[in-house]
Structure 1
């Protein structure tokens, strides 16, 4: 697809006149294409048809309640990492029994809330967590289902900040320690430790680390079963990559990924659990921004947008590439720009030396691949309002989050009105 063709497609995304939408709702603005989300869900369902498998969407990727409600209505479960995500998932219609609680730092309060609401399974990451969970479940007189998150010590070959399966990472339990836990599982009388879990990282663009990880998990599972452990589920996490850079990123096909997983666990009669997040949402969303001005320095040309690192932090945090497509007429001359935002940080940069069609002040650009880890990581840094979000569907749109007001931004703050002591 040429740049001009892509710009034309983005200008009418979901059958909606995007420039008219920007004029009405303002920018920065997150846009999600409902058809793209539905297509990914349908592909997953087709790939898992006839298998004993479950999909638990990774809520952290995009936690907008309207998005969650759509995913819940499609019959998927939810993978959460906080009490807040649990409450969002429940409010969006996920059944408690279809929620898996992951995360290395679950607090006492969060575990109590999850037990109270009947969350289906905990992915536990340490003996200390097992001890706390056991005590809290016993106090409530309930039995909690647990999968141990193991650390298979596999290099995911992705950015260091989203690699989670190596021995030096904070996540998971080493295999030797996991063996001991399963051997002594009866010690935790209020827990049913009957599952395995692993997640080696995100944005995986090759199947090799996935094959290595699932092979180690499968071998470990067979070893445990041979020793008499009952395994009701094996959770293979998520991490399947997406195309952020057209013509450069070539993520594995879904069918090849599923074949690798099913091949590794052939003969396992329990349930396989998948936790996609980025793969479901990233390519379904764009961040729409307006050009504030084109600033010409001595050696560089800066394209200054009204969107900033607080709206989409991935380029600043991970040096992540996002395709940037100006919504401008075709056949304009190409120019090299540093694409930046207005935040007072040099790191507030979306791209350096990016060759784009010539852009003028007040025109629109689409930052692509922003449907995951965009709005969910947004902040009000520099006291900038959180952007609005819209869901595009069949030529119309839903405003699923209004732009934050100034009053809402400061609603929890107070002046020195009441001095308190401990």
Structure 2
């Protein structure tokens, strides 16, 4: 469910017409619904109400500080994978004890920063990382709670670029090696084992891979406890998928996911951490764009819009589908025709959809790319020297620009001409 609905013939974000946002902010622009973000967070929170837990929003999905504050104020923790994401969470007022630091390549500078400012735990991904963290923690005179990310070699049956739990993926240590690694951690200064971490991928639409992975985690928990380790927390990752195409069957809901967790690890008495991102933010945001031209091609027609692959790269990178709708509601029974919907960037890959059936549209018409709240604005760039896409947050009938579109002057002023190029 989301809060982007037609009212009086116009698509709204909650109580704000998208035509009004386009008039005030221009296009392209990301628009988020606060009500949808909060609803999706609370669904996860309710799904784990059977035991101690923390829902840590995956900041990489949509990292605007306003979104982080909205969720943090509601009680969410944060899962971060860089110092920049950590700083964003802290700027949003989220305390360190609710921030989990993940990521396969943490630098020494990042480790020092989060240890100095406070962190709930660090999820370790390799032996070199744990040894470096031990050295730094000992130098700083602190003890840091840690888990080890284990790779359970479970096929998440998702896109190869977002699968993280198979043996050939770069993430974590082989689960068969976990007891050896935990034994070494126990002997290192500055580290305190608190649990186990696992994450098998993103956009999962089947609960069975979760079940298989969590069953392996349960077995490992009992083995590590038998070895004398205090396993108090299980960080079970995220990855539950969203319905990008509304015509398809809906993926499993958070309550069913929570039941799988309870079935497989609920008997262990551990605090449960999960790290959803896409399901919280995905359907909570749309990309609003305007048609520049309608171009008749040979055997196909093109809708050329002012959004481009630098604003929303998912279709170009993953071949991803987004439902696309006109902002003005079509009349019932309107005849549709196929269009290729493309952007203005000088790449053939700057294509959002091919042969998509749409009602006839003309230059200046507004359209919305649905389910664009996750991995949209965070992956945007200034390719082709296009200013970074702005973001708007809506709550009821209130709207606010939470990231402004930079001017061309602001964008270009970040470049510096060396003095020797100005010398005659």
Residue 361 of structure 1 pairs with residue 352 of structure 2: no
- Equivalent residue, structure 2, for 1:412: 414
Kept after mapping to 2: 8 A contact 1:334/1:355: yes
Q: Distance in 1 between matches of 2:376 and 2:62?
A: 7
Report the CA distance between 1:9 and its aligned residue.
7.8
Kept after mapping to 2: 8 A contact 1:242/1:249: no
Q: Distance in 1 between matches of 2:43 and 2:355?
A: 36
Kept after mapping to 1: 8 A contact 2:312/2:380: yes
Report the CA distance between 1:10 and its aligned residue.
6.5
Report the CA distance between 1:8 and its aligned residue.
6.5
Equivalent residue pairs, number: 417
Report the CA distance between 1:49 and its aligned residue.
2.3
- Equivalent residue, structure 2, for 1:279: 279
Counterpart of 2:291 in 1: which secondary structure? strand
Q: Deviation per CA, 1:290-329, whole angstroms, max 9, x where unpaired? A: 0001111111111111000000100100101000011234
Report the CA distance between 1:37 and its aligned residue.
1.1
- TM-score computed with the length of structure 2 as normaliser: 0.95
1:393 pairs with one of 380, 392, 395:
395
Q: CA RMSD in A?
A: 1.7
Runs of 4+ displaced beyond 4 Å: 4-10
Q: Distance in 2 between matches of 1:322 and 1:398?
A: 25
Counterpart of 2:302 in 1: which secondary structure? strand
Counterpart of 2:113 in 1: which secondary structure? helix
Q: Using a 3 Å threshold, how does the CA distance of structure 1 residues 8 and 181 change in structure 2: closer, same or farther?
A: farther
Report the CA distance between 1:176 and its aligned residue.
2.5
Kept after mapping to 2: 8 A contact 1:10/1:366: no
Report the CA distance between 1:413 and its aligned residue.
1.5
Q: Using a 3 Å threshold, how does the CA distance of structure 1 residues 355 and 6 change in structure 2: closer, same or farther?
A: farther
Q: Distance in 1 between matches of 2:305 and 2:57?
A: 32
- Equivalent residue, structure 1, for 2:294: 294
Residue 151 of structure 1 pairs with residue 147 of structure 2: no
Q: Deviation per CA, 1:200-220, whole angstroms, max 9, x where unpaired? A: 000001111111111111111
Q: Distance in 2 between matches of 1:174 and 1:8?
A: 56
Q: Distance in 2 between matches of 1:249 and 1:148?
A: 35
Does 329-338 or 107-116 show the bigger shift?
Answer: 329-338
Q: Deviation per CA, 1:139-159, whole angstroms, max 9, x where unpaired? A: 000001110000000110110
Counterpart of 2:100 in 1: which secondary structure? strand
Q: Deviation per CA, 1:61-86, whole angstroms, max 9, x where unpaired? A: 00001001101101111100000001
1:300-315 matches, within 5 Å, as: 300-315=300-315
Q: Distance in 1 between matches of 2:306 and 2:83?
A: 33
Report the CA distance between 1:266 and its aligned residue.
2.5
- Equivalent residue, structure 2, for 1:15: 15
Q: Distance in 1 between matches of 2:149 and 2:410?
A: 39
Counterpart of 2:151 in 1: which secondary structure? coil
Q: Deviation per CA, 1:340-361, whole angstroms, max 9, x where unpaired? A: 1000111011111111111111
Residue 260 of structure 1 pairs with residue 252 of structure 2: no
- Equivalent residue, structure 2, for 1:317: 317
**Structure 2 stretches lacking a partner, 5+ long:** none
Q: Using a 3 Å threshold, how does the CA distance of structure 1 residues 238 and 300 change in structure 2: closer, same or farther?
A: same
Residue 342 of structure 1 pairs with residue 344 of structure 2: yes
Report the CA distance between 1:237 and its aligned residue.
0.2
Q: Distance in 1 between matches of 2:244 and 2:365?
A: 23
- Equivalent residue, structure 2, for 1:177: 177
Kept after mapping to 2: 8 A contact 1:295/1:302: yes
Q: Distance in 2 between matches of 1:308 and 1:279?
A: 24
Report the CA distance between 1:35 and its aligned residue.
1.0
**Structure 1 stretches lacking a partner, 5+ long:** none
Kept after mapping to 1: 8 A contact 2:96/2:117: yes
Report the CA distance between 1:42 and its aligned residue.
2.2
Report the CA distance between 1:388 and its aligned residue.
1.4
Does 368-377 or 211-220 show the bigger shift?
Answer: 211-220
Does 235-244 or 214-223 show the bigger shift?
Answer: 214-223
Report the CA distance between 1:184 and its aligned residue.
2.7
Kept after mapping to 1: 8 A contact 2:46/2:255: no
Q: Distance in 2 between matches of 1:49 and 1:205?
A: 23
Report the CA distance between 1:410 and its aligned residue.
2.6
Counterpart of 1:155 in 2: which secondary structure? coil
Kept after mapping to 2: 8 A contact 1:8/1:327: no
1:56-95 matches, within 5 Å, as: 56-95=56-95
Counterpart of 2:266 in 1: which secondary structure? coil
Q: Distance in 2 between matches of 1:62 and 1:249?
A: 25
1:352 pairs with one of 334, 338, 354:
354
Report the CA distance between 1:262 and its aligned residue.
1.0
Counterpart of 1:12 in 2: which secondary structure? strand
Residue 24 of structure 1 pairs with residue 24 of structure 2: yes
Q: Using a 3 Å threshold, how does the CA distance of structure 1 residues 239 and 81 change in structure 2: closer, same or farther?
A: same
Kept after mapping to 2: 8 A contact 1:7/1:326: no
